[in-house]
Amino acid sequence: MYNFTIGLSMLISLLLIIVNALVSYVIGIIGKNTYEKTGAIEIAINKLNVLNQYIYNIFSISSVFLTGMIMLPHMRVFLKPLGSWGKAIFFLSLVILIFVNSILNQLILHPTKQMIRGTNETKKELLYNHLRFLVFFYFPIIIIPLIKMILPSELKSRLFSDKILNIISSMSIIFIVLLVTPLFVGIVLKAVPMNSNELNQKLANILKKANIQNCKIYIWSTKNRKIANALVTGYIQKRIYVSDYLLENFTEDEVQSIIAHEIGHIKKNHLMIRLGFILLGNVLFRIVGLLLDYYNHIIPFWVGICIISALFILYFYILFLAISRSQERQADSFVLQIGIDPEVFISALYKLTKLNHSLFRFNRFQEILRTHPSTEQRIEWVRKKAKISNRKIELVQERGEHDIPLI
């Protein structure tokens, strides 16, 4: 019986992996055909990203969830004797399935992206970088339920028996995990502290001017992947990370404008707001879950699933993205407030878009599903705020075009 159960589970998992790989292969063909037809790198990369984000990811997660539903009745007999550890093993097996699908997806799309963007990242580097990203990204998602699963029964009954205490205990675990996770960003990115050179001193002066203390700046390598980016992390120890590909292609003034934007996130407490948003969402969904459980004699199970799914999409996707775009606008505003030349900032935004082969504008639907406003909107907002003429904007973009390396 056990051999049959294990064999059936492996067969279902293998079929799932093959189907997901075929979906990735089709997406790669569509991206390649788009590039050959249009000759536009930005359009082809955007097509790949959209298909991967809204088709592949949804299909992959849904198929893993469906696989879990199919496998659970067969695996229950095998895992039941293991108690809480059995649940943990089953949960981890689904996570591993997501990891395998995601890694295969990246490996299958790698030649197409490499051909379109002219990147030099090897498959070995891709595998290593993506695996680190997956572990970091899924760490909070994995560790929180695992802690609840493997806790001793006596401790679990004390912490989670009462409904109110259950919410408080769960919130505490989530808070601690989310608080600790940013400390590992530097390890995931393999970042190193910025050297004490002239640029570092200028950036330190901006931090001092903004009255930001206890914040360090790190550099991470992205040249082979051609990623120009910067980000800020940390709830206790603030850290700003900037890619070497950005530093290589930006002037010092442009780098300062990008760092000023990240400092804006710190000054506006955006990280703490996002943390509060996640914690509040956890409370709201637990309350909704309790209400659905209370009215389970009226509301069918499948209706409850639909309600939870719809609320999840609205809260953690649509609303979160709207808040994220608002925060990006506030950080852009801070760049001007701290005294950065608006034309320099516009040039930096333009270069960011060109170097990463992103589109300058998106339709209304795509704008709603983005963490950042489009570059076109951001530049236009800065132009109006600083009262810059359209002709000057054109000149700034022309200068930036000459500074960007050819593929």
pLDDT in tens, 360-382: 999 888 898 899 999 999 999 99
The values of phi and psi at residue 217, to 5°, are: -110, 130
Q: Which of 108-122, 276-290, 312-326 has the lowest mean pLDDT?
A: 276-290
CA-derived radius of gyration, the chain: 24
pLDDT in tens, 74-105: 666 666 666 666 667 777 778 888 888 899 99
Whether residue 72 has pLDDT greater than 80: no
Q: Give the model's pLDDT for residue 294.
A: 76
**Higher local confidence (pLDDT), 7 or 50:** 50
Q: What is the mean pLDDT of the chain?
A: 84
> Identity (one letter) of the amino acid at 395?
L
Q: In the structure, what pLDDT confidence band is assigned to residue 232 with cuts at 50, 70 and 90? A: very high
Q: Give the model's pLDDT for residue 23.
A: 93
**Region of residue 357 (left: phi > 0; alpha: psi -120 to 50; beta: else):** left
Query: CA of 396: how far to CAs of 16, 189, 248, 341, 354, in Å?
Result: 50, 32, 19, 12, 13
On whether the CB atoms of residues 361 and 376 are closer than 8 A, the answer is yes
On whether the CB atoms of residues 375 and 350 are closer than 8 A, the answer is yes
- Cβ-based neighbours of 283, under 8 Å, separated by 6 or more: 167, 171
Q: Mean pLDDT over residues 141-154, rounded?
A: 68
- Cβ-based neighbours of 116, under 8 Å, separated by 6 or more: 31, 32, 35, 41, 44, 45, 48, 357
Q: How far apart are CA 351 and CA 354, in angstroms?
A: 5
Whether residue 308 has pLDDT greater than 90: no
Q: Which of 52-56, 230-234, 251-255 has the lowest mean pLDDT?
A: 52-56
Q: How far apart are CA 69 and CA 252, in angstroms?
A: 54
The values of phi and psi at residue 191, to 5°, are: -85, 150
Q: Give the model's pLDDT for residue 68.
A: 72
Q: Mean pLDDT over residues 159-163, rounded?
A: 61
This prediction has a pTM of 0.87
Query: CA of 160: how far to CAs of 92, 154, 166, 173, 367, in Å?
Result: 22, 10, 4, 12, 41
Q: How many CB atoms lie within 10 A of CB 248?
A: 12
Whether residue 199 has pLDDT greater than 90: no
Length of the chain: 407
Q: How far apart are CA 239 and CA 236, in angstroms?
A: 9
State the SS3 of the chain: CHHHHHHHHHHHHHHHHHHHHHHHHHHHHHHHHHHHHHCCHHHHHHHHHHHHHHHHHHHHHHHHHHHHHHHHHHHHHHHHHHCHHHHHHHHHHHHHHHHHHHHHHHHHHHHHHHHHHCCCCCHHHHHHHHHHHHHHHHHHHHHHHHHHHHCCHHHHHHHHCCHHHHHHHHHHHHHHHHHHHHHHHHHHHCCEECCCCHHHHHHHHHHHHCCCCCEEEEEECCHHHCCCCEEEECCCCEEEEEEHHHHHHCCHHHHHHHHHHHHHHHHCCHHHHHHHHHHHHHHHHHHHHHHHHHCCCCCCHHHHHHHHHHHHHHHHHHHHHHHHHHHHHHHHHHHHHCCCCHHHHHHHHHHHHHHCCCCCCCCHHHHHCCCCCCHHHHHHHHHHHHCCCHHHHHHHHHHHHHHCCCC
On whether the CB atoms of residues 210 and 263 are closer than 8 A, the answer is yes
> Cα–chain-centroid distance for residue 111?
23
Whether residue 238 has pLDDT greater than 60: yes
- Cβ-based neighbours of 341, under 8 Å, separated by 6 or more: 253, 257
